[in-house]
Amino acid sequence: MPLLDDTGFVPDPWTRLADDRPAPEGARVIVSLARLREQGPPAGAAALGVHVAPEDDPEAVAEAAARAALISVGFSSFADGRGFSVARRLRAAGFAGELRAFGPLIADQFAALRACGFDAVEIPEALAARQDEAQWLAAARSMTLGYQRGYALPGRNILEARRAAREEAAR
Amino acid sequence: MYRYDEFDAAFVAQRAAQFREQVRRRLSGALTEDEFRPLRLMNGVYLQLHAYMLRVAIPYGTLDAEQMRMLAHVAEKYDRGYGHFTTRQNIQFNWPQLKDIPDILDDLAGVRMHAIQTSGNCIRNVTSDPLAGVAADEIEDPRPTAELIRQWSSLHPEFTFLGRKFKIAVTGAENDRAAVAVHDVGLRIVRGPDGEIGYRVLVGGGLGRTPMIAKTLREFLPRAHLLPYLEATLRVYNLLGRRDNKYKARIKILVHEMGIDAFRAAVEDEFARLDPEASAPDPAEVARIAAYFAPPAYPELPDACPALERARRAHPEFDAWVRRNVHPHKVPGHAAATISLKPIGGAPGDATAEQMRLMADVAERHSMGELRITHEQNVVLPHLRKDELFQVWRMLASQGLDAPNRGLVTDIIACPGLDYCALATARSIPVAQAISRRFADPALQERIGPLAIKISGCINACGHHHVGHIGILGLDKAGVESYQITLGGDPTDDAALGERTGPGFAFDQVPDVVETLVRRYLELRQPGETFLQTYRRLGMTPFKEALYAAA
Amino acid sequence: MAKRFNPVVLTANALESGAPLWWTGAGWSESFADARVATTPEQAATLQALADTPLMQAATVGPCLVEVVEEDGAWRPASRREAIRASRSPTFAYGPEAASRRGPGARAA
Ligand code: SF4
């Protein structure tokens, strides 16, 4: 499915592997958490990615994150916001690999997804046809200010800007 | 009052521009209605029976004269000349067109107003005590806390697609006028063991289909931990709250199903994993916000006011208004007053553009430019001089804003109901109007004393019927409106949910039902006893008998 | 037992204005009186199919069928909700008109 990062649509170097399929030699593969737990990492793969769902056991997700270079977090619909918190937890626990949001997300969520730690979004074809690259990139940049500390907001953090202004004034 | 700095102003302007773009994409077909709905809701735009509805935030119910005038302007230019103040201290416009809403938001942004998160499954606008900053029983003004939360929750990247809406209320007073126990999170400003100020955190209260009184999540939370602790609470809710059924998706159900102890353990565990320093605002920022709420420069006045006493003696109607609608103030020689939006036979909470302008004028001339909206759907003038009360009353009377009925039987809360609302099962405003007309006599109202009637047009309980002394819930029974009556609800400190009397009543019967209940109370009460006290002393039985014996 | 068929009309709200609309058979009208009534299950199915088309979904909000009943030779919406919608107004006077009717002073009925 189409993949976007902050530069727009990009080719996907990863392959999603059904639970019963072997990994192509030297490929970067994404497997389900269940498969990883039952079978371990697929033999021959160059890099391991794991797909998790919000209802997956947080301990198991943390374990997988320790072994994976990519975590794909599933969203059952764009209104299902659990994945935002899953990403925050993973980043807070120190996961430094690639974080991908997977599901029928919409352009208007791009900035928030990135603020919570996602690097990229993988969306269904039909959605990509309706919401083109320009819309995604425009939506990601429509807010350049935010109030929350500790999130990777696009543009400026208002609290930090105020603090800087205070320090400037004090000097 | 809080004033936007350049960042707040730019933020709100960007948000308005963002919504304009979202509307354009909806009209162009890039967004389907399913995708657009949550986006418009997050900006306060509903589709009701007759038109779109726009709900504008009045954060913690505080606004200034300029903002009130802007609401009048919006009512006149884009609507049908009026607006409806809600139980959430907001205002709703009933007739705007979708294509005009971006312009409305631009106009509102010009006076530091917005519609951000007045609906949708996100953190809703924070509500508070309408007497904040002026009440004598206050430990601390709750508004700096409310403003801090307003900023923090605005377009929160993690918490805008929650399982369901999330309402936070704050009070800083001993008497809770913000009904914090019926909110998803309620904050009470308290003094800690060493006298320092912090919060008691309540969680899991709410009305709606499954009403619940909140439980204590944390007995004492240091002030500096407020936002990180809210973040932990929201994260636990976001991850674990149910998403399979919209009626079970509020945090109250999660707390109820997990049990408060397990829920608390989960929050504390999440909180322990956070670095509070990384997400808390620095103390200078907290102080910056608090400074805006420093008390205004009141003139020094003697507390006794002979001019007021003379006017009261000369004008019995004014005297009645002072008795009912004027509140004590912590500064000598001053008072706060409630402008009742409940004239006899009126639609509760409605005000015309002309009335809004008049209220703005009165505020500017007599109340240091400030107004408050209450969850009873009235307006408060917080900073009046006692020796100007008579002039204030005269001005208000010129536009029918002088109803001397605050807290009385005709000060009825009613949601829009089936006359406007797409979710309604029955009408509520006409029920309120009929009851109001039945009890039109001011002497009778005073004789009955404090009595809160609250009416909702469906189980969503926007009219807070569960916490009405008399609660009225409109349902649909096989195509016919049927009204269920509850007694004994109370949103204040001893928060209690009303108890059902029995089978429901037809639309036309409701005024008789209320009259029967009131008569029974008048027969049974002991000297000085209110309806609620009599009900608590005697319970349901005598009222039930009066209602159903005759039938 | 099969549910008895009740006649229906197709209704929606206008995307730009939000106003209620009724399908006339040839287009949308803001007046309920213009609505084309489906009196057979087949006609109702045709209207439902129309409501389900992507074009209809994109151009209006919430197209759906609602039941109507015949009374004194004219059709009216079966539910109170739809009757209020069809009247395009709350059931009471509102706004400036209601306020001026009450006049100054809050007491007049
Ligand atoms: S209680 Fe029901 S009818 Fe009343 S405003 Fe809320 S959703 Fe609408």
Cα-Cα-Cα-Cα dihedral of C54, C57, C60, C61, to 10°? -170
CA–centroid distance, residue B501 to ligand 1 (Å): 22
Say yes or no for a CB contact (<8 Å) between A142 and B14.
yes
Together in a domain, A38 and A82:
yes
Neighbours of A59 (CB within 10 A): 8
pLDDT digits (tens, 9 = 90+) for B114-134: 999 999 999 999 999 999 999
Residue from B5, B126, B148, B161 to probe the interface with A (highest A Cβ count within 10 Å): B161
Which candidate, B345, B150, B33, B303, places its Cα nearest to that of C105?
Answer: B345
> Residue A80 maps to which CATH number?
3.20.20.70
Superfamily of the domain at B134-291: Sulfite Reductase Hemoprotein, domain 1 (3.30.413.10)
pLDDT digits (tens, 9 = 90+) for B158-168: 999 999 999 99
Contact (CB, 8 A) for B499 and B488: yes
Which candidate, B288, B187, B193, places its Cα nearest to that of B229?
Answer: B187
- The pTM of the full predicted model, rounded to 2 decimals, is 0.94
Residue type, B38: P
Architecture of domain B413-550: 2-Layer Sandwich (3.30)
Nearest CA to ligand 1 atom 2: B458
Task: Check whether B361 has a pLDDT greater than 70.
Answer: yes
Q: What mean pLDDT comes out for the span A69-92?
A: 96
Which candidate, B220, B173, B216, B228, places its Cα nearest to that of B195?
Answer: B220
Regarding the beta carbon of B456 and ligand 1, being less than 6 Å apart is answered yes
Domain span holding position A160: 146-171
Regarding the beta carbon of B463 and ligand 1, being less than 6 Å apart is answered yes
* Residue B460, token pair as written in the block: 């969503």
Say yes or no for a CB contact (<8 Å) between B157 and A84.
yes
Say yes or no for a CB contact (<8 Å) between B427 and C89.
no
B434 interface with C at CB cutoff 8 Å: no
- The neighbouring-strand residues paired with B201 are B187, B218
Say yes or no for a CB contact (<8 Å) between A159 and B282.
yes
Q: What is the Cα–Cα distance from B488 to B519, expressed in whole angstroms?
A: 16
Residue B136 — pLDDT band, cuts 50, 70, 90? confident
Percent of all residues in chain B with a pLDDT value above 70, rounded to a whole number: 100
Q: Please, is B32 exposed, middle or buried when counting C-beta atoms within 10 Å of its C-beta (0-12, 13-18, 19+)?
A: middle
Kindly give the pairing relationship between strand A70-74 and strand A47-52: parallel
Q: How many CB pairs under 8 A join A and B?
A: 117
Together in a domain, A117 and A162:
no
3 state SS of B198: strand
DSSP B346-368: SPTTEEEHHHHHHHHHHHHHHST
Nearest-CA distance from C42 to chain B in Å?
26
Together in a domain, A92 and A154:
no
A111 interface with B at CB cutoff 8 Å: yes
Q: Locate tokens 């543009």: which residue?
A: A155
Nearest-CA distance from A94 to chain B in Å?
12
Nearest-CA distance from B241 to chain C in Å?
29
pLDDT digits (tens, 9 = 90+) for B300-324: 999 999 999 999 999 999 999 999 9
Together in a domain, A134 and A150:
no
pLDDT at B278: 87
Regarding the beta carbon of B49 and ligand 1, being less than 6 Å apart is answered no
Ligand 1, closest atom to CA B421? 8
pLDDT digits (tens, 9 = 90+) for B35-64: 899 899 999 999 999 999 999 999 999 999
CA–centroid distance, residue B455 to ligand 1 (Å): 10
pLDDT at C109: 37
Mean residue pLDDT of chain A comes to 93
Domain residue limits, chain C: 8-102
Does domain B6-109 fall under CATH 3.40.640.10? My reply is no
Together in a domain, A14 and A83:
yes
Nearest-CA distance from A54 to chain B in Å?
7
Q: What mean pLDDT comes out for the span B384-405?
A: 97
Instruction: Give the residue, out of B85, B87, B458, B459, with the most ligand 1 atoms within 8 A of its beta carbon, to mutate for a pocket test.
Output: B458
- What's the per-residue H, E or C state across B62-111? EEEHHHHHHHHHHHHHHCCCEEEECCCCCEEECCCCHHHHHHHHHHHHCC
Task: Check whether B544 has a pLDDT greater than 60.
Answer: yes
pLDDT in tens, chain C (109 residues): 557 899 999 999 999 999 999 999 999 999 999 999 999 999 999 999 999 998 888 889 999 999 999 999 999 999 999 999 999 999 999 999 998 887 666 554 3
pLDDT at C104: 64
Q: What is the Cα–Cα distance from B267 to B274, expressed in whole angstroms?
A: 11
pLDDT at C103: 67
Could you say which DSSP state residue C15 is in? T
Q: What mean pLDDT comes out for the span A31-55?
A: 93
Residue type, B132: A
* Selection from A132-136, B104-108, B488-492, C55-59 with the highest mean pLDDT: B104-108
pLDDT at C108: 42
Chains that touch A (3 or more CB pairs under 8 A): B
Computed from CA positions of residues B303, B305, B309, B314, in that sequence, does the dihedral angle turn out positive or negative?
negative
Say yes or no for a CB contact (<8 Å) between B397 and C104.
yes
What's the topology of domain B306-397? Sulfite Reductase Hemoprotein; domain 2 (3.90.480)
Task: Check whether B267 has a pLDDT greater than 60.
Answer: yes
* Residue C109, token pair as written in the block: 């009925």
pLDDT at B471: 98
* Residue A170, token pair as written in the block: 């004090």
Say yes or no for a CB contact (<8 Å) between A85 and B8.
no
Neighbours of B361 (CB within 10 A): 14
Together in a domain, A83 and A14:
yes
Together in a domain, A136 and A152:
no
Q: What mean pLDDT comes out for the span B149-171?
A: 96
Question: How many domains is chain A built from?
Answer: 2
Regarding the beta carbon of B57 and ligand 1, being less than 6 Å apart is answered no
pLDDT at C59: 86
The C-side interface with B (CB below 8 A) comprises 13, 15-20, 57-58, 61-62, 78-81, 84-85, 88-92, 94-96, 98-99, 102-109
Query: Which of A40-44, B47-51, B426-430, B537-541 is least confident?
Result: A40-44
Positions of E strands within B165-302: 168-171, 185-191, 197-203, 215-222
Q: What is the Cα–Cα distance from B524 to B516, expressed in whole angstroms?
A: 12
